[in-house]
Chains A and B, each alone.
Chain A
Amino acid sequence: MSTLGVKVKKIRSKNAGPFWITIDVFCGDKKIYKDVCNKLRNAKISSLLMISEQDLKRFEIDNLNVIKFSFPRKIIQGDVFDRDMHGAQLAVLLSEMKF
């Protein structure tokens, strides 16, 4: 079994203001996009991120072949216990996920 990172073109994550994080999955082409849209479950993503499924917002952006996930941060950006202010390393969780 391969990983999602191998399957798609690029996965990136970034803070969206101090209170949210957003993850963009760039699928590359329509075929892969459809496949990922069908198979990638919100339950799986929220469990990877250890957040509740209700907090996860999902957008499927057809014209860009992108699936986007956004969620409120459990620890606000730059707080004493924050480990990654820009949240840009979180993307590896999806990249390394079995797919």
Chain B
Amino acid sequence: MLPIKVLVPSGVLGLGFDLEALNNGIKNNPDIISIDGGSTDSGPFSLGSGTSKYSRAAIKAEWKSLMIARKKANVPLVIGSCGTCGTNGMVDWMENITIELAKELNQHLKIAKLYCDQQKDYIKESYKLNKILSLNPAPKLNNKVIDEMTNIVALAGAEQIQECINTGADIILAGRTTDTAIISALPLMKGANPGSSWHGAKVAECGALCSTNPTSGVVMVEFDKTGFTVEPMSKNAFCTSQTVAAHMLYENADPYILHEPGGHMDVTYSNYYNIDRKKVRVEGAIWNSSINYNVKLEGAKIAGYQTSLLVLLRDHNYVKNIKKWTDKLSIFLKKEINERMDINSSEYSIEFRHIGLDSILGELEKNLGNPVEVGVLCLITSKNEISIEIAKLINPFLLHFPLSFNEELPTFAFPFSPVHSDRGCVYEFALNHILELDDPMDAFQIQISEV
């Protein structure tokens, strides 16, 4: 059955890909089409709220192209981490889009859904039994924190995707999955080299990012007994041994080791060489199975309710003394909030960021220049929705607060009306842990439907 060809249309559904390159890929007879649907890359909001980062319209338009391509190739189409965060709700959301498209395209499909949500009772029980281990660095975990989380998912690996493939489904909609497992699952099943199956998957997980033309999206990876070959499908993209090897650096804390459910891959002794102008051959990655089968957990909880305000200052004296101004203002506001609203400063936080001075690097900034203007971003985060009321109380002082008492009342620039922006509920990541399973399917469920 080897070699196995996996077509990867792009790094993530929603980012776009070159349609001509996709068609080239289909002409090259792939055995499966695999695309990632999510990531934690944009922060905790998606998982916390259980929503997609990308618009439904963008997802539907791209998914339509892939469903048409799948029909043409007559092979399975797999998406991992549906709707950015890969919660059960987002798997159902993706199914809903798929059903709509199946009707529009008049396609009859077998769909397999992989659910990755974790129930709090199960997580608490596993925690009690020491089946949950912390990675470095890990947020503090206890039953109270587990109760506070809005969503907990486990990252599926190759084994769970293989279970889905074995159902004979045309389309697999997986919840949270490692970026690589949707690509490595089929080659591993068919006896390709295990180290190279994971390594090739890692190289292709961001689509054409491993090539000279990242935005073209589409790459094909061919897996066999000894290694893999990667080739971009756009006529304007090329893989070189450098672009492929360099991809192991990207977003990886360790450039040689990649942990996956059931073990880790080691590429320390991999060799990369160009077969021709476009294709790169890679061999030498090693797969080390672990004794226990562990999956990674992700969880998010509510950090608070946030309201922001932005005020702009151009007055030379205030720009020069901007930190002194916000320091004085901060002390003054805490007193006002306490006296007028009867709210203790432990129930909220107020932060001032000086845009134009050091708003990105904060205390790490070494190069404080002489800006002509400064934006002060004021962030209020409270345990409940009171942050909007605090923002309204702050509003006149942001506009008029003087540096000294014996001066005319200053007025700064507000760029918006209303001045405050309600940012609603904000979340934080609450897990950097792994869960030990007796059987890979213990924390996952598969549902089959036909449309």
**A residues adjacent to B (C-beta < 8 A):** 14-20, 22, 24, 48-50, 57, 59, 61, 63-64, 66, 68, 70, 72-73, 76-86, 89-90, 92-93, 96
A16 touching B137, Cβ below 8 Å: no
> Given that A50-B364, A81-B351, A83-B360 are contacting pairs, would A17 and B253 also be in contact in the complex, using a CB cutoff of 8 Å?
yes
A-B contact pairs, 19 of them (CB 8 A): A14-B251, A15-B41, A17-B432, A18-B429, A19-B138, A20-B253, A48-B364, A57-B254, A59-B254, A64-B249, A70-B254, A72-B137, A78-B429, A80-B379, A80-B381, A83-B360, A83-B361, A83-B362, A89-B361
A12 to chain B: closest CB distance in Å?
9
Among B42-50, B77-85, B104-112, B181-189, which stretch is in contact with chain A? Answer: B42-50
Q: B residues within 8 A CB of A77?
A: 40, 43-44, 429
B417 lies within 8 A of chain A by Cβ: no
B360 with A19: CB separation less than 8 A: no
A79–B42 Cα distance when bound, in Å, is: 12
Question: Whole-angstrom distance between the alpha carbons of A83 and B359 in the complex?
Answer: 7
- Please tell me if the beta carbons of A24 and B428 are within 8 angstroms of each other in the complex: no
Tell yes or no: B130 within 8 A of A by CB: no
Q: Are B303 and A80 in contact (CB-based, < 8 A)?
A: yes
In the complex, the answer to whether B246 meets A78 with C-beta atoms within 8 Å is no
Contact between B255 and A68 (Cβ–Cβ < 8 Å)? yes
Q: Does B363 contact A (CB under 8 A)?
A: yes
A84 to B256, CA, bound (A): 26
The answer, among A63, A73, A86, A96, for a CB contact under 8 Å with B366, is A96
Q: Tell whether, in the assembled complex, residue A96 and residue B367 are in contact, meaning their CB atoms are under 8 Å apart.
A: yes
Interface centre among A17, A68, A89 (most CB of B within 10 A): A17
Cβ B253 vs Cβ A80 within 8 A: no
Task: Considering the complex, give the chain A residue whose CB is closest to the CB of B48.
Answer: A78
Do B253 and A57 touch across chains, with their CB atoms under 8 A apart? yes
B168 within 8 A of A: no
Contact between B139 and A76, CB atoms less than 8 A apart: yes
Give the residues in chain A near B245, CB-CB below 8 Å.
Answer: 63-64
**C-alpha gap A76/B45 in the complex (Å):** 13
Contact partner of B42 (CB less than 8 A), chosen from A61, A85, A96, is: A85
Separation of A82 and B379 alpha carbons in the complex (Å):
12
Q: With contacts A19-B137, A96-B366 known, is A80 near B349, CB below 8 A? A: yes
Distance in angstroms between the alpha carbons of A29 and B253 in the assembled complex:
23
**Residue among A49, A78, A86 with most chain B CB within 10 A:** A78
Q: How far is the CA of A86 from the CA of B359 in the complex (A)?
A: 15
Contacting pair A22 B251 (CB below 8 A): yes
Query: Closest CB-CB distance, A51 to chain B, in whole Å?
Result: 10
Is B323 an interface residue, CB under 8 A from the partner?
no
Least distance between A68 CB and chain B CB atoms (Å) = 6
Most buried by B among A79, A84, A90: A79
Q: In the complex, what distance in Å separates the CA atom of A17 from the CA atom of B44?
A: 11
> CA A89 – CA B361 in complex, angstroms?
8
**When the two chains form their complex, are residues B249 and A49 in contact, meaning their CB atoms are under 8 A apart?**
no
Interchain CB contact under 8 A, A16 and B253:
yes
B151 at the binding interface (Cβ < 8 Å): no
Indicate which residue in A17, A49, A72, A82 contacts B364 across the interface (CB closer than 8 Å): A49
In the complex, chain B residues whose CB is within 8 Å of the CB of A15 = 41, 251
**Please, how many angstroms separate the alpha-carbon atoms of A93 and B361 in the complex?**
9
Contact residue among A48, A63, A72 (Cβ-Cβ distance under 8 Å from B136)? A72
Give Cα distance in the complex from A84 to B43, angstroms.
10
CB distance from B382 to the nearest CB of A (A): 10
Q: Which residues of B contact A83 (CB under 8 A)?
A: 353, 359-362
* B250 interfacial contact with A, CB 8 Å: yes
From A64, A76, A90, A96, B429 is in contact (CB under 8 Å) with: A76
Closest chain B residue to A77 by CB distance?
A: B43
Residue B370, interface by CB 8 Å: no
Alpha-carbon gap, A35 to B432, bound state (A): 37
**Alpha-carbon separation in the docked complex, A89 to B428 (Å):** 21
Contacts of A92 in B (CB 8 A): 361
Distance of A17 Cα from B259 Cα, bound (Å): 12
Contacts of B250 in A (CB 8 A): 14
Among B44, B360, B381, B427, contact of A89 (Cβ-Cβ < 8 Å): B360
> In this complex, which of B138, B242, B303, B364 has the most chain A Cβ atoms within 10 angstroms of its Cβ?
B364
Please name the 5 residue pairs, one residue from A and one from B, whose CB atoms are nearest each other, closest first.
A78-B43, A70-B253, A16-B253, A20-B253, A78-B44
